């Protein structure tokens, strides 16, 4: 059986694929493969391990309908036309569960960095602007006892909430399509309406999937309903916030700061105004990028691929 890998995965995954006698072809050009190149590369393959943001839309799927299985190197599957894949009998697998801790760590890192203007102050040192000691220059704000709002209380949201409770005793409110009783029982999180979430959160952290419903959900109108002291954190998908509106909300003081691990588009260009704002921290989509998590993701990917090639239900099948 033949599998194409459209980027890098942890070596343990490659080793396990070989142990299953799967013939691997891997994209190693050091840039994201284009849509046409991906179609071309998949022509004589039985499976695809899809790394990165390539759209696996109806055009791609129909051009590669001989594929038995696509294993995503992500928990998110907004890049795939799931309905079309189902119609064509191509099994789609993702990597849930194993990346919740690392992604929540990234959200926590951004929250703390924004609250103390860490990225901005680091850049000042690099520019030679640390001249002398000043007791009241760009002051941060403290997180202790502040209210954490979670938009999308799933596995990752719950991990973020636990970290914030442990570190700063933050009361947790959340908004979901449906109530998460497990989170309510585990950490006493309180379900609130979307409007209440906006009005009451001191830190508002996004942990939902990108869907038609959540696309551009955080726009100027929404930012205006948040506290002027609020910190907005997005480690989910860049499409969930409107970047132009976020910039305006920060410039006009509708919110206090923002921490982003995801942007729209990705990669973010170096001249983006957000990168020079005092109360902003941006990371290049490293949410789950730890040795431990990448290894665990690679192992799930192999299980998904092997099951799909054998015509079995995937351990983590989407749709």
Catalytic residue set: 237, 266, 285
Q: Which residues bind ligand 8YV (CB under 6 A)?
A: 51-52, 73-76, 99, 287-288
Q: Work out how close the CB of 142 gets to ligand 8YV at its nearest, in angstroms, rounded to a whole number.
A: 30
Question: Which of 51/161 has CB closer to ligand 8YV?
Answer: 51
Q: Work out how close the CB of 11 gets to ligand 8YV at its nearest, in angstroms, rounded to a whole number.
A: 16
Question: Which of 17/277 has CB closer to ligand 8YV?
Answer: 17
Q: Residue 251 to residues 198, 277, 283: CA-CA distances in angstroms?
A: 18, 9, 20
Q: Work out how close the CB of 33 gets to ligand 8YV at its nearest, in angstroms, rounded to a whole number.
A: 13
Q: Work out how close the CB of 35 gets to ligand 8YV at its nearest, in angstroms, rounded to a whole number.
A: 17
Question: Which of 73/146 has CB closer to ligand 8YV?
Answer: 73
Q: Work out how close the CB of 140 gets to ligand 8YV at its nearest, in angstroms, rounded to a whole number.
A: 28
List, as own/partner pairs, every contact residues 219-224 make where C-beta atoms lie below 8 angstroms and the sequence separation is at least 24, other chains included.
Answer: 219/245, 220/245, 220/248, 220/249, 220/254, 222/198, 223/248, 223/249, 223/254, 223/255, 224/249, 224/254
Angle at the Cα of 262 from the Cα atoms of 72 and 98, rounded to 5 degrees: 45
Question: Which of 73/155 has CB closer to ligand 8YV?
Answer: 73
- Which token pair is 1? 């059986």
Position closest to ligand 8YV via CB:
76
| Residue 49 contacts residue 73 (beta carbons within 8 Å) | yes
Number of Cβ within 10 Å of residue 83's Cβ equals: 11
- How far apart CA 236 and CA 42 sit, in angstroms, is 28
- H/E element, 71: strand 69-72
Which phi and psi (to 5°) does residue 71 adopt? Answer: -100, 120
Question: Which of 74/176 has CB closer to ligand 8YV?
Answer: 74
């Amino acid at each position: 059986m033949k599998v194409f890998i459209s980027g890098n995965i942890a070596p343990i995954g490659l080793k396990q694929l070989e142990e299953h006698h799967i013939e691997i072809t891997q994209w190693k050009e050091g840039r994201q493969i284009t849509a046409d190149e991906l179609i071309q590369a998949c022509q004589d393959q039985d499976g695809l391990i899809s790394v990165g943001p390539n759209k696996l839309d109806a055009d791609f799927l129909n051009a590669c309908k001989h594929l038995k299985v696509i294993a995503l190197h992500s928990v998110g599957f907004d890049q795939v036309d799931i309905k079309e894949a189902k119609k064509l009998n191509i099994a789609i697998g993702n990597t849930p569960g194993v990346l919740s801790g690392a992604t929540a760590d990234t959200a926590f890192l951004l929250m703390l960095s924004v609250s103390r203007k860490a990225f901005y102050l680091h850049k000042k040192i690099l520019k030679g602007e640390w001249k002398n000691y000043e007791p009241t220059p760009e002051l941060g704000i403290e997180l202790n006892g502040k209210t954490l709002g979670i938009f999308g209380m799933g596995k990752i949201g719950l991990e973020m909430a636990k970290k914030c409770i442990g570190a700063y005793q933050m009361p947790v409110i959340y908004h979901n399509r449906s109530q998460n009783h497990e989170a309510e029982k585990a950490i006493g999180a309180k379900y609130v309406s979307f409007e209440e979430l906006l009005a009451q959160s001191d830190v508002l952290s996004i942990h939902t999937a990108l869907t038609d419903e959540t696309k551009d959900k955080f726009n100027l109108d929404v930012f205006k309903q948040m506290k002027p002291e609020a910190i907005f954190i997005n480690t989910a998908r860049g499409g969930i916030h409107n970047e132009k509106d976020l910039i305006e909300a920060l410039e006009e003081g509708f919110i206090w700061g923002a921490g982003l691990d995801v942007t729209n588009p990705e990669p973010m260009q170096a001249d983006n105004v957000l990168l020079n704002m005092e109360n902003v921290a941006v990371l290049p989509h490293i949410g789950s990028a730890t040795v431990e998590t990448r290894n665990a993701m690679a192992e799930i990917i192999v299980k998904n691929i092997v099951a799909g090639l054998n015509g079995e239900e995937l351990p983590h099948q989407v749709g």
